[in-house]
Chains A and B, each alone.
Chain A
Amino acid sequence: MDKPAASKVINMERIREIVMECGGHKWALIPVIQKIQNEFGYIPPEAIHVIAIGLKIFPSQVQGVISFYAQFYTKPRGRQVITVCRGTACHVRGGESLLEMLENGLGIKEGETTADMEYSLETVACIGVCALAPNVVIGKEVYGKMDTQKIEQLLKKGEA
């Protein structure tokens, strides 16, 4: 991700704008959250009541939707997001051990971000590139036919 992952001050004005751009209607909640996340990299918790007021719903409803869907984050993520696919094909071809290697290599667990905000490690249900299983996604790029050696290389190179 190119954006700074953790900008200290959240531009609440911009959040208000996004809410209004999407029509200010309760049925626009998910698009609003998606847009905020695209711009800010995550949903700042302080944005929740602004969204709720803008869409005329309860903050608990906003929070409920954010926590329900796997793709919404309430914490800043690392500059590089490494996602291990845990689809069936990836699983039977050893995806689990790749995740373990990455966890050990980066010193974080799945769902965590390194202290220097460089890497986040995540999993995804399936990215649909099963023919090249097992897959690891770094940023937007899919790395197919991964194995322990390739992971080791990536770890040595510093993931990029």
Chain B
Amino acid sequence: MQNRSTIFVCQGTGCLSSKSGLVYEELKAEVAKLGLSNVDVDFTGCHGFCEKGGIVVVEPEGIFYTHVKVEDVPEIAGSHLKDGKPVERLFYHDPATGKAVSYYRDINFYKKQRRVILYNCGHINPEKIDHYIAAGGYRALNKVLLEMAPQQVIDEIKKSGLRGRGGAGFPTGRKWEFGRNTYSDKKYVVCNADEGDPGAFMDRSVLEADPHAAIEGLIIAGYAIGANDGYFYIRAEYPLAVKRLYIAIEQARERGLLGKNILGSGFDFEIHMKEGAGAFVCGEETALIASIQSQRGMPRPRPPYPAQSGLFGKPTTINNVKTLASVPRIIDRGADWFAGIGSEKSKGTTVLALSGKILNSGLVEVPMGTSLSTIIFDIGGGIPDGKRLKAVQTGGPSGGCIPARFPDTPVDYETLTLLGSIMGSGGMVVMDETTCMVEVARYFLSFTQAESCGKCVPCRLGTKQMLEILTRITKGKGKENDIATLYEIARTVKECSLCGLGQTCPNPVLSTLSYFRDEYEAHIKKKKCPANQCRPLRRKV
């Protein structure tokens, strides 16, 4: 018998925009034309290396092709699939050495990663439940429903040290315990897939590439807490993720993994889909609940916490996509295995969306506590065009900028908070010497100002005032006391706002003020933009 091989074409949003849909169709036609009966053509979700799209992988060898276009298909099919000679010109070329790297596993970008949440991403067909099951999927659910009591599940998650991957890092086990210990006739679990942070795209990738992992996690959460209904609240800006999630839910239902008496355990669970409508603030849990209830997505004061009174007034536990996708892996491999990864207080891995001025942009999963320099230089390949790293922005509009002078910063919840940023959803935007930090602060403020729901005064007016001052500075009309005023407003907004959006939105301003005050001063006093980005202040070159 001939060796069977499968050629996988990435069909994530990133690769699709590099026309990988056509590549997939063409490959199927070409393989059929050549009569290659030992080759299967299939597709996967996101590999996380979208910049190199369209990505095509030949398994089981693990040959990794980048930038594949329709025109390249006959050569791949003829030379590689038929004659066994891989097409070298389409290999990944190491930006540092220029050498061609043929295997997936040898590429630096992947070599230094540790994939727990993204374990299946790029290796299975997200629209086939059998692929997920063959990769060990739903084994954890089986174990949980048939062998474990809800409290045991919670204890296991607590032992693993898993913390919420949505940004705040609240211990998941404790959150579930609150949910479990609240008495009510009806409870809900919600998967928060409202990934609104600009610059973060890991939830999209997970849902596009491995939707069943989040579904399995949500069912397990429901069982642990005692909820029979789960919701996915997902951004409508991610149409492909929405589509794949619908398919996956339907398949799970067909297999009896959703519905009544799951796997004969007596546990019933249903999943409902809610599509968002484009409001960043809906990532905040009370606003998200309001939005599921078809109201304006405005946060409300807590307590009562959603764990006491949430969706439709019932106790509700809300977890992020990545948190839930980690759950089946923890149950399957054991809490000790998970707790063995990462740093002392931040266990497991973190998924970062590396983008901006970096050679290898994409999704990166590393153990918590990995240093910034490893992420940016070893995995990310460094800064393009020989420029110098200036800062790394983490946590999106709620986070801050970490200057290049802290290259050894371990990326975990505590350290990033200490430096005035946050872990947030894991967006990591790299900035080089041509990025103006005042302009970056202005950009984030323009975002939060537009997204502020307007309910509480500090956020509504504070963001507006800060934005006005920052805009003025970038136009060269900054006043002497602007920095002091910015500090004052930022502190007020941080302390007095109702929800996370307001409480964190001054972070980009505060962190750039403390690390790049000289840039602010240059704008205000010398009417110069050191990065030469702010148009009214540009030097003539």
A interface with B by C-beta (< 8 Å): 26-31, 33-34, 61, 64-65, 68-72, 86-93, 124-133, 135, 140-144
Q: Flag whether B13 is at the interface (Cβ < 8 A).
A: yes
Which 6 pairs between the two chains have the least Cβ-Cβ distance? Answer: A128-B201, A70-B278, A88-B199, A87-B198, A69-B277, A29-B294
Q: Flag whether B264 is at the interface (Cβ < 8 A).
A: no
Q: 1/0 per residue B288-318: CB within 8 Å of A?
A: 0001011111100000000000001000000
Taking CB as reference atom, which chain B residue is nearest A140? B239
Number of B positions contacting A (CB below 8 A): 55
Given contacts A30-B294, A89-B361, A144-B14, contact A71 B236 (CB under 8 A): yes
Q: Flag whether B246 is at the interface (Cβ < 8 A).
A: no
Which of these, B278, B291, B353, contacts A130 with CB under 8 Å? Answer: B353
In the complex, chain B residues 334-363 whose Cβ is within 8 Å of any chain A Cβ? 353, 355-357, 361-362
Given contacts A71-B236, A129-B201, A132-B17, contact A31 B294 (CB under 8 A): yes
Evaluate contact between A128 and B361: CB separation under 8 angstroms. no
Evaluate contact between B198 and A68: CB separation under 8 angstroms. no
Cα–Cα, bound, A70→B195 (Å):
15
Evaluate contact between B197 and A126: CB separation under 8 angstroms. yes
Total A-B residue pairs with C-beta atoms closer than 8 Å?
A: 139
Evaluate contact between A89 and B294: CB separation under 8 angstroms. no
Q: Give me 30 A-to-B residue pairs in the complex whose CB atoms sit less than 8 angstroms apart, sorted by A's number.
A: A29-B294, A30-B274, A30-B294, A33-B277, A68-B297, A69-B276, A69-B277, A69-B279, A69-B297, A70-B278, A71-B277, A87-B199, A88-B199, A88-B355, A89-B198, A89-B199, A89-B355, A89-B356, A92-B356, A92-B429, A93-B357, A124-B237, A125-B278, A125-B451, A126-B198, A126-B237, A128-B237, A129-B50, A135-B17, A144-B17
Evaluate contact between B198 and A88: CB separation under 8 angstroms. yes
Cα–Cα, bound, A26→B292 (Å):
11
Evaluate contact between B296 and A26: CB separation under 8 angstroms. no
Cα–Cα, bound, A141→B357 (Å):
24
Which of these, A70, A129, A133, contacts B279 with CB under 8 Å? Answer: A70
Q: Kindly list chain B residues whose C-beta atoms are within 8 Å of the C-beta of A28.
A: 294
Q: Flag whether B435 is at the interface (Cβ < 8 A).
A: yes
Smallest distance from the beta carbon of B514 to chain A beta carbons, Å?
A: 20
Smallest distance from the beta carbon of A126 to chain B beta carbons, Å?
A: 4
Q: Flag whether B196 is at the interface (Cβ < 8 A).
A: yes
Q: 1/0 per residue B266-277: CB within 8 Å of A?
A: 000000001111
Q: Flag whether B410 is at the interface (Cβ < 8 A).
A: no
Evaluate contact between A125 and B443: CB separation under 8 angstroms. no
Evaluate contact between B275 and A130: CB separation under 8 angstroms. no
Smallest distance from the beta carbon of B482 to chain A beta carbons, Å?
A: 22
Cα–Cα, bound, A29→B291 (Å):
10
Q: Kindly list chain A residues whose C-beta atoms are within 8 Å of the C-beta of B422.
A: none
Q: Kindly list chain B residues whose C-beta atoms are within 8 Å of the C-beta of A65.
A: 294-296
